[in-house]
Amino acid sequence: MGKNLYFLVFLVQLLVLLPWLSIASIQPEKSQTYIIHMDHSRKPNHFSNHKSWHQHTVRSLLSVCPDDKQTFLYSYTHVMHGFSAKLTPCQLAEVEKSPGHLTTYKESFGKMFTTHTPKFLGLNRGSGIWPTASYGKDVIIGVIDTGIWPESESFKDNGMSKVPSRWKGICENGTAFSPSLCNNKLIGARSFKKELEAAGLNISTEYDFDSPRDAGGHGTHTSSTAAGNFVYGASHFGYAKGIARGIAPRAHLAMYKVLWASDTLASAATDILAGMDQAISDGVDIMSISLGLEHTPFYQDVIAIASLSAVEKGIVVVCAAGNDGHAATIYNGAPWIMTVGAGTIDRSLIATLELGNGLTFEGTSYFPESVSITNKYIYYGFNDPKKSGCSALDPRDVKGKIVLCDDSNLNLNAQMYAAAQAGAYGAIFLSESLFLDPDDYSIPGILLHTRYAKEIKKYAMTGNNTLVKSMRFVLTKTGTGPAPQVAYFSSRGPDPITPCVLKPDILAPGVDVLGAVRPDVPFMEAGKYDLLTDYALYSGTSMAAPHVAGISALVKAVHRNWSPAAIRSAIMTTAYKTDNTFGMIRDQTNGSIATPLDFGAGHVDPNQAMDPGLIYDMDSQDYIDFLCGLGYTTKQMMTVIRKSQWTCDENRTDLNYPSFITSLSNQTTYPIEKKFTRTVTNVGDPTSIYRAVIQAPEGMIVSVEPNIMRFTGKYQKQNFVLNVHVEKPDPKLTYGYLNWIDEHNHIVSSPIVIISHL
């Protein structure tokens, strides 16, 4: 497929590993694609179904706008009642005159957020949620992504149960993909691209496959992370070698390809909506989405609207929080979605450096060759301002040498590129930020923290014959720390659309996750060689979301009758807030203590989520009451909830969420009083006594009424009120925790957050 595809694969990997880049920029034409939301109660009786009504509506436009061509794309059944079509301004105006018209959405385009993690999460074969849940047996995870590479070992069906009888999906035929490639693991595979074709994007075999086959590897990676089968001896060029397996290795998988490669990368809201609609119709139990659309109110956010429809049908929807890495940049923050941030794990991929004077150092490296470099000269341009660091390397100075780079004016990617272009044999990078993508190691390189700079530079400046005695690569350490930390790229709260709900909900592994990828195109270049691999390390909230999708599948396998809200509550209230050094979880960027705006309720703990003790449950009416409180118009409400009639509980002011947050304006006067009302359901021991234990900083007084709850039966419900009194909050953030603790070792924990101003 040539160099264009190699560039595409590189770009996909870059998008997964780095903060957001623009995916698509499609210039508007005379006709554009619109999603038309219709009031289903207005369907004339002579139409047998909604699709025939939608198609007739579009065809009838020819009589009013005879010179305008129209293109019907999709009819939506579950995510909303409506259709998408490519329409001219004349046609759109006519559609909007229809008494059945509710809302129009202009097309928008989506972005991706892109072995050891099961052990890091405490999953083991002998005890806990894995054996109890039979590894996710009979649960179906639908992945909305770039497609799948079905021949990967992760998608073999050894040990899998038969396809559940309730399954209605198919494996479609297409380019380099046939239904025979599906099995008892991969039970469904579909693709959706009508809008991209209508927009004129060139989707061809030069860039992608006209089928569910994955051209870039992102969807293959997320699928294998959520539910990949056991694969022995997997590694990233020798790093992280071991058994690769998904979080729910006995769950079934279905792929819905909505992200495509053409001369750009593109994913249209129309196609995303169609994929989600089909997943609901097919009968998935869990939906994993590692992409997002623009920040918009819920009545304009098709992922939020489609997710609410899925949740109403009992489907858990798990989404990536985004890779913007700053405050108030959360994506997919609707309260019915489980929004996942990314954390590090306790595994380090390292290289060692020994200098000619005997000093030794250990640093980070992904250089993909098990080599030992010995007795190479160091080049350090300290004595020439024009050649300092790695900004302006002269090949005559550095060829065949190890370059020492301490250039703060260039990012590490640019420094590696400069060193490689100048012909350096290898490089030592001194940096506060030890973040260099795995596919950027075109020459041997080691990243060392600047705390080692003084010793290394002192030796490098002693003369012209300073040596690197040895550099060794492809070394993996586990049990390193502190871990987890909040990944530097993970989007932080508060949610820009609804800051009244704490987001992200949870933190999960999202850094250096080993997963299956497309194996037949180069992952990277090293020297003169193109290197291929069937497993690779990716980082991003794209990788964190499928971890939680897999955990949700495990909890679902144990508690088949639990609602999506119950499963989310179990995962949130059992999360932990400390790292493996027994300190509080920290921020990878600067080492400071992280907050609930960074990690939500904490880091996911699947074994504890299996038995949470109490849950904060919700149903459709809870979400309707929440939306009523946002002040939406009647038409906006109809758009989100897809109903023409509903009732609002005027006395309900608070969503029954497993966390507590309030945002104050600059005009707020102190002290402040805030009251939260919640209902908990006992899902633990039938006879239990829970006592409220408060963790709060100075100046924050929290009380609970009642502070003791006695349960006499399973699924019994009780209400409580949480009162928060703050004399003068921290200039940015004040937070504490409510812990309900019983005599059976259940700890049901919820963060309490006061944001002083946005």
The pairs formed by 51-57 with CB atoms below 8 angstroms and a separation of 24 or more are: 51/75, 51/77, 51/83, 53/100, 54/82, 54/83, 55/83, 57/83, 57/95, 57/98, 57/100
Distance of CA 282 to the CA centre of its chain: 23
- The greatest distance separating any two alpha carbons of the chain, rounded to the nearest whole angstrom, comes to 91
Q: Is 249 helix (H, G, I), strand (E, B) or coil?
A: coil
Sign of CA dihedral 387, 393, 399, 403: positive
Alpha helices by DSSP H, listed for 81-134, are 89-97, 117-120, 129-132
d(CA 747, CA 651): 30
- Cβ neighbours of residue 657 under 8 Å, at least 6 residues apart? 335, 501, 502, 616, 618
Amino acid letter for position 636: Q
Residue 129: CB partners within 8 Å, gap ≥ 6?
A: 123, 554, 555, 558, 606, 607, 609, 610
Within 10 A of 179 (CB to CB), how many other CB atoms are there? 11
In angstroms, what CA-CA distances link 661 with 449, 649, 750? Answer: 37, 21, 10
CA distance 200 to 558: 47
Tokens read off for 490 = 């993970």
- Which phi and psi angles does 711 have, rounded to 5°? -110, 140
Active centre residues (catalytic): 145, 218, 542
Distances 427 to 303, 372, 583, 711 between C-alpha atoms, Å = 44, 14, 34, 64
Q: Do 659 and 750 contact (CB within 8 A), yes or no?
A: yes
Task: Name the 3-class secondary structure at 756.
Answer: coil
Strands of 387-518, DSSP E:
402-405, 426-431, 445-449, 467-478, 485-486, 506-509, 513-516
| Residue 97: count of CB within 10 angstroms of its CB | 9
Whole-number Å distance between alpha carbons of 742 and 613? 8
Tokens standing for 743?
């005599």
The one-letter amino acid at 296: T
* Locus of tokens 């997320």: 222
Are 547 and 343 within 8 A, CB to CB?
A: no
Residue 573 near residue 610 (C-beta atoms within 8 A):
no
Look at residues 297, 220, 311 and name the one whose alpha carbon lies nearest to residue 567: 311
Residues paired with 752 in a beta bridge: 660, 736
Whether 70 contacts 88, CB under 8 Å: yes
DSSP 333: -
Q: What is the dihedral sign for C-alpha 687, 718, 701, 748?
A: positive
Tokens encoding 9: 């694969």
| Half-sphere CA count of 206, side-chain side, radius 13 A | 9
Q: Please list, residue by residue across 571-607, b when 16 or more beta carbons sit within 10 angstroms of its beta carbon and e when fewer do.
A: bbbbbbbebeeeeebbbbbeeeebbbbbbbbbbbbbb
Residue 449 backbone dihedrals phi, psi, to 5 degrees: -70, 150
